[in-house]
């Protein structure tokens, strides 16, 4: 995909943590404008999202996966239609990182579970949606929001984790010695999650080709933040270094 795409090597997340970055993606605004500058704040419908703008131009809109824009609704994960910010087709949940027991809701309002490792099932759902649009005249906007690569790093299919033995992980030079053991363990799972998503994205791209949609479909791959994973002695994100702010785009 990178070889035949426009690739931005210096794509950055201006606020590298889930909710603010996701609000930026959907609104095109900075965090202090859209109001989501930390996690667990609801993005209120007082600005035009990308989905709403496209609906106004006749697009069918769809959202699959992690939402993380509805504030403190982790307890039930249900996002009512009036807070879906322009998305019609809905297979989403607020936030869960239990990748093998991952909930979602559709239009029925009943909680359902993705079968197995959720990225695989969400990819299946995305391909089903693409197939449903094959013979439709109206354009569509599909947003697939995977939970991984994100903690817990070890909650990943074993056959992928086996590809990255901890003692063979090459760490960045800026990982101090006291962080190496944890960094190797985390990076093993982090790389495994990424490899899973490489395959999932490949399946979506292949489906677009097979369905004859490639000629007039724009496929964008990006993220909300990176991971420190021991660099500079830090883990997770929300840090002003490349490991945290650089994202694929």
Please list the active-site residues.
18, 68
DSSP 3-state assignment of 21?
Answer: helix
Two structure tokens written together for 70: 């509805």
In sequence order, the β-bridge partners of residue 145 are 65
Roughly what angle, to the nearest 10 degrees, separates helices 180-210 and 118-132?
20
| Matching residue, tokens 């995305």 | 126
By DSSP bridging, strand 140-145 and strand 60-66 are: parallel
Separation CA 51–CA 45 (nearest Å) = 12
Q: Give one DSSP letter per residue of 66-102, joined into a string.
A: E---BSS-TTT----GGGSTT--EEEEES----TTS-
Separation CA 15–CA 244 (nearest Å) = 9
Separation CA 199–CA 1 (nearest Å) = 12
């Amino acid at each position: 995909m990178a070889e035949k795409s426009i690739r931005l090597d210096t794509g950055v997340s201006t606020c590298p943590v889930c909710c603010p970055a996701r609000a930026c993606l959907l609104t095109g605004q900075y965090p202090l404008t859209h109001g989501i500058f930390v996690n667990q704040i609801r993005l209120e419908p007082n600005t035009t999202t990308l989905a709403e703008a496209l609906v106004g131009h006749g697009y069918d809109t769809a959202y699959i996966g992690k939402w993380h824009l509805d504030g403190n609704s982790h307890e039930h994960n249900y996002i009512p239609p009036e807070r879906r910010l322009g998305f019609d087709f809905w297979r989403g949940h607020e936030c869960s990182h239990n990748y093998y027991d991952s909930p979602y809701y559709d239009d029925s309002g009943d909680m359902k579970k993705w079968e197995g490792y959720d990225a695989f099932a969400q990819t299946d759902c995305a391909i089903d949606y693409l197939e449903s649009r094959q013979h439709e005249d109206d354009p569509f906007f599909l947003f697939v929001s995977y939970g991984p690569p994100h903690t817990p790093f070890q909650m990943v299919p074993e056959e992928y984790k086996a590809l990255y033995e901890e003692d063979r992980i090459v760490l960045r030079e800026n990982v101090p010695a006291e962080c190496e053991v944890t960094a190797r363990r985390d990076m093993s799972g982090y790389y495994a999650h990424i490899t899973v998503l490489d395959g999932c994205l490949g399946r979506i791209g292949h489906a677009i080709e097979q369905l004859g949609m490639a000629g007039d479909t724009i496929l964008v791959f990006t993220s909300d933040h990176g991971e420190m994973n021991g660099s500079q002695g830090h883990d997770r994100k929300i840090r002003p270094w490349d490991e945290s702010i650089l994202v694929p785009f």
